[in-house]
Structure 1
Amino acid sequence: MADEGFLTKKFGEGVENYYSGSPLNRLAFLRTNYSYLSTALQHPSTRFLLLKNLDPLASTPSTLAFLPYTDVSNLIANPYEVSEKAALEAFTSTIDHPVLIFLGIDESAPSSDSISTPDNKYTGQAYFSLDITPYPHLSYSLKATSLLSTISQNYPSHEFKTARKDLNLNNDHAAMYASARSLTNWNVTAPYCAGCGQKTMSVHAGTKRACPPLDGGVETRKCPSREGVHNINFPRTDPSVIMAIISSDGTKILLGRQKRWPKYWHSTLAGFLEPGESIEEAVRREVWEESGVTVGRVIIHSSQPWPFPASLMIGAIGEAVPGKEEIYLGNDPELEGAKWFGFEEVKEALAFTSGLYDGPPEGYKEGGLRLPPKTAIANQLIRAVVLGGVHLASSKI
């Protein structure tokens, strides 16, 4: 049922972009409760999303494959048999473990597939993700290779999906994959402590890396991550802005294209936030640097997690300053071109959207404008501008 609350009445319906809206309750407060995690890990209904080179195992073009614990137990055993403190004290840097992440529980699952939290307040089917990439330099590579062979034999119709090029997962599975991919990539690429350089251990169910006090029973170097409050070994999220810019007369939208994109394919401008910069400032700076256009008023539209590797795309809509709308690409060579497009031309092009790696859609006429698909936040920003529903005027209660 549509939300008809105060915010909807005042600002219109909200937007939930692709890769967001996970159906899982993450239960972040139980990530250190190894007793609960141990029970959840081995429960018959618990399911595992497998990743290889960060690509997910899929059963169909639109659905992920989820395997039971019995399929993966030889690789992971039960890392939650002992407490996190005991695991850190038993740490040995020469023994590697595949990245295992507790994704959360699906509270809509039937009771027969559910487990309860220690306080019996929440019940649901548990989901984990597991990286089974057989990295040759890691001690479990032979077991990972064996597991891949077993999966190929037992599930011949399953395949590892190149998700970045193929945005056809259903929304729930796309959101689950986004969390798994971002956290897995961080665990794999940040195996050493940024504070002291020692090898770290994945803890908090895959959402933190700790610098162990002992390595093979020998005391390690003193590390700032073990003292006070710090954020040394936590996953990072890189905020970026992506913006639809409207001309000062409200009839055109600014779009750009990069050289590597398909012919006639355009999108909204985008760029990373810099330290000490607000979202609005980042929008103005990026648009001016890339296109030479000066932006005045900026409003926030919606956001989209983009797990390649770990960005948060903050969607915004801005209005160009009258008299400062001339396009100049000399500041930043990132764009091959930028152009103001009339709303009517863009409306027609919205009927022929396609992914960056896809061919032209059926019905497309050569030479016409091509735009990103609905799974891209750029498409949602463009739609908000040219199809209505956006008010740039200040709203006061």
Structure 2
Amino acid sequence: MADEGFLTRKFGEGVENYYSGSPLNRLAFLRTNHSYLSTALQHPSTRFLLLNNLDPLASTPSTLAFVSYSDISPLISNPYSTSEKEVLESFTSTIDHPVLIFLGIDESASQEHKIPTPDGKYSGQAYFSLDITPYPHISYSSTASSLLDSIKQNYPLHEFKTARKDLNLGNEHAAIYASARTLTNWNVTAPFCAGCGQKTLSVNAGTKRACPPKDGGVETRKCPSREGVHNINFPRTDPTVIMAVISSDGTKILLGRQKKWPKYWHSTLAGFLEPGESIEEAVRREVWEESGVTVGRVVIHSSQPWPFPASLMIGAIGEALPGKEEIYLGNDPELEGAKWFEFEEVKEALGFTSGLYEGTPEGYKEGALRLPPKTAIANQLIRAVVLGEIHLAKI
């Protein structure tokens, strides 16, 4: 049954973009509870998503594949067998550990698959992700290589697939993968403390990196990350604005294209939010820098996590000011071109959308406008403007 609450009655149904809407309860408050994590880790129903160079193991282009603890135990054993404090105290920088992330629980799973939380208030099937990339510089590379060979042998129909080229995941699996990919990439690319430069250790079930007070039993130097409130060693998210810009007369939409994109493929403009800048200010600045068009009123539409590598796409709709709509690309060389498109042309193009790495859709006529697929927030913004679908349901 649809939500008939006050906000839905006043503003319409909400928007749930691709890569969001995970079916898992993250249970963030249990990420330091090693007793619970240890039980969940070794439970026979627990499922593990494997990543190799950030590519997920999949059974089909639309479905992720999951393995059990027995499949991966040679690589990880049980990292939760002692408390987090003990793990930090025994840290040795010459010993590497694969990135293991607790993703949460599926509370809709059948009863025999559920694991109760310590207080008995929640229960569900546990999900983890594990990076088994055999990086040559890590101490466990040979074990990771052996595990990869074992997975290929035991699951011959499963493959590690490149997300944006080989996969078209369903919404729920896409959301699970987005969390796993973003957190894994951050752990892999942030091995040293931003406060003091020492090697860090993944803790908090993969959602924090700690700067240990000791290395091989020897006290390390003082670090600001161990004092007071800080966000030095926490995951990074890059806020990014992406906007559909309407002409002042409400009949056209501004779209741009980059040189590397397929021929005739256009999309909405986008750019990173800068420190000390509001979302509305970022929209106006980015549009002006990239296209020369000046935007007045800005409204927020929806957001989308984008795990390539760690953006949060903040979707907006902006309206150009009268007399300030002339396109000028000289400020910023990012775009190869930008153009005002009549709504009718864009409406027709919405029937022939495709991803950057896909071929032209069936029925497409050479030379016609091409647009991003429904899985991209850009598509949802374009639809909101040209079709009047300001309030969208789940795709």
What TM-score bracket applies, with the shorter chain setting the length? Answer: over 0.9
Partner of 1:73: 73
Partner of 2:130: 130
Deviates more, 1:11-20 or 1:45-54: 11-20
Distance 2:342 2:163 in 1: 33
User: 1:43-84 CA distances to partner (integer Å, 9 max, x unpaired)?
Assistant: 000000000000100011101001000000000000000000
Q: Is contact 1:12-1:389 (8 Å) kept?
A: no
Distance 1:363 1:4 in 2: 39
Distance 2:6 2:370 in 1: 37
1:338 is paired with a residue whose SS is strand
1:184 is paired with a residue whose SS is helix
Distance 1:107 1:259 in 2: 45
Partner of 2:211: 211
Q: Is contact 2:61-2:167 (8 Å) kept?
A: no
2:383 matched to 1:380? Answer: no
The AA in structure 2 aligned to 1:2 is: A
Distance 2:252 2:80 in 1: 57
1:10 is paired with a residue whose SS is helix
Partner of 1:394: none
The AA in structure 2 aligned to 1:136 is: P
1:165 is paired with a residue whose SS is helix
User: 1:223-247 CA distances to partner (integer Å, 9 max, x unpaired)?
Assistant: 1111111111101100000000000
CA drift of 1:164 comes to 2.3
Distance 1:163 1:274 in 2: 28
2:56 is paired with a residue whose SS is strand
The AA in structure 1 aligned to 2:139 is: S
2:198 is paired with a residue whose SS is coil
The AA in structure 1 aligned to 2:246 is: I
The AA in structure 2 aligned to 1:362 is: E
Distance 1:155 1:235 in 2: 32
Distance 1:337 1:191 in 2: 39
Output the TM-score relative to the length of structure 2: 0.98
Partner of 1:25: 25
Partner of 1:58: 58
The AA in structure 1 aligned to 2:44 is: P
Identity of aligned residues (%): 87
CA drift of 1:10 comes to 1.3
Partner of 2:230: 230
2:129 matched to 1:143? Answer: no
Instruction: Tell me how many residue pairs correspond in the alignment.
Output: 391
Partner of 1:389: 389
Q: Is contact 2:304-2:312 (8 Å) kept?
A: yes
Distance 2:347 2:121 in 1: 48
Distance 1:67 1:36 in 2: 20
Distance 1:167 1:293 in 2: 36
How does 1:1-397 map onto structure 2 within 5 Å? 1-390=1-390
1:93 is paired with a residue whose SS is coil
The AA in structure 2 aligned to 1:183 is: L
Q: Is contact 1:242-1:271 (8 Å) kept?
A: yes
The AA in structure 2 aligned to 1:161 is: K
Distance 1:308 1:40 in 2: 29
Distance 2:128 2:260 in 1: 36
Q: Is contact 2:114-2:125 (8 Å) kept?
A: yes
Q: Is contact 2:241-2:282 (8 Å) kept?
A: yes
Q: Is contact 1:167-1:375 (8 Å) kept?
A: no
Gaps of 5+ in 2: none
Q: Is contact 1:88-1:213 (8 Å) kept?
A: yes
Distance 1:264 1:299 in 2: 28
Q: Is contact 1:289-1:332 (8 Å) kept?
A: yes
Deviates more, 1:26-35 or 1:381-390: 381-390
CA drift of 1:167 comes to 4.9
**Structure 1 vs Structure 2 CA RMSD:** 0.8
CA drift of 1:390 comes to 3.4
